[in-house]
Amino acid sequence: MIKVLVADDHAVVRRGLRQILSETADILVAGEASTIPEVRRLVHEQRWDVVVLDLNMPGGGGLALLAELRRELPGMRVLILTVSQESQYAVRAIRAGAAGFLTKESVPERLIEAVRKISAGGRYVSAELAETLASLVAGESGGAPHERLSDRELEIFNMLAAGQTVSQVAQELGLSVKTVSTHRTRILKKLNMRTNAEMTHYAIRSGLVE
């Protein structure tokens, strides 16, 4: 039996994932988490074959959690399931330690296939993402300006570009307002911008936010 932890801040999504995975005889959703701190607690309290994790959850950043799990629980198998554009976070997630990456638009059969493959020690990505990863290995990717941002900077950039204030970002990520403001300054400098409006325009044009 494949023991799965489902981590998403939306109760409806968690219920849907539980229903999809529970239709199989070999997968058991044995726990749920709605915040990053809850994920952190549960992965240390119990053994899980696969953690299905949304990157955008309250209490911290998903990419930072991935890096933390890779250090502290190197055998942990994590499948990222998110609304984020593949080109935006997928490569970073794989580099941070994820064993697979799917968007929430994926059909249920792909989710079940991914959980099974990852639990068996494999990796799971879409054909499109596989091509992107291959291009990066071959050095064919020129790189967009936002790819110069660190994982944390990209996370904050997207939140600011989506209209959140510095205070809101700080509260959601569990950071101080000063820390977020410092990141914002670095982001603007790296992207050669001056205002949040410029970030929003760039993010929409690049498909990073809707």
Q: Identify whether the C-beta of residue 132 lies closer than 8 Å to the C-beta of residue 91.
A: yes
Are 155 and 84 found together in one domain?
no
Per-residue pLDDT of the chain (210 residues; tens, 9 = 90+): 999 999 999 999 999 999 999 899 999 999 999 999 999 999 999 999 999 999 888 887 888 899 899 899 989 999 999 876 555 678 788 888 899 998 888 889 999 999 999 999 999 987 767 766 666 555 555 567 887 888 889 889 989 999 999 999 999 888 899 999 999 999 999 899 999 999 999 988 877 776
- 210 lies in some domain: no
For the chain, the distance separating the N- and C-terminal CA atoms, rounded to the nearest angstrom, is: 39
The token duo for 201 is 């325009």
Question: Where would I find the beta strands (DSSP E) of the chain?
Answer: 2-7, 27-33, 50-53, 78-82, 100-103
* Rounded-to-integer distance, Cα 180 and Cα 166, Å: 6
CATH code at position 120: 3.40.50.2300
Neighbours of 120 (CB within 10 A): 11
Query: Among 93, 115, 137, which residue terminates a domain?
Result: 137
Are 169 and 200 found together in one domain?
yes
Q: Identify whether the C-beta of residue 133 lies closer than 8 Å to the C-beta of residue 141.
A: no
Are 131 and 149 found together in one domain?
no
Are 22 and 94 found together in one domain?
yes
Q: In which residue are the tokens 């570009």 written?
A: 161
Tell me the whole-structure pTM to 2 decimals: 0.72
* Rounded-to-integer distance, Cα 133 and Cα 27, Å: 29
Name the residue range of residue 50's domain: 2-137
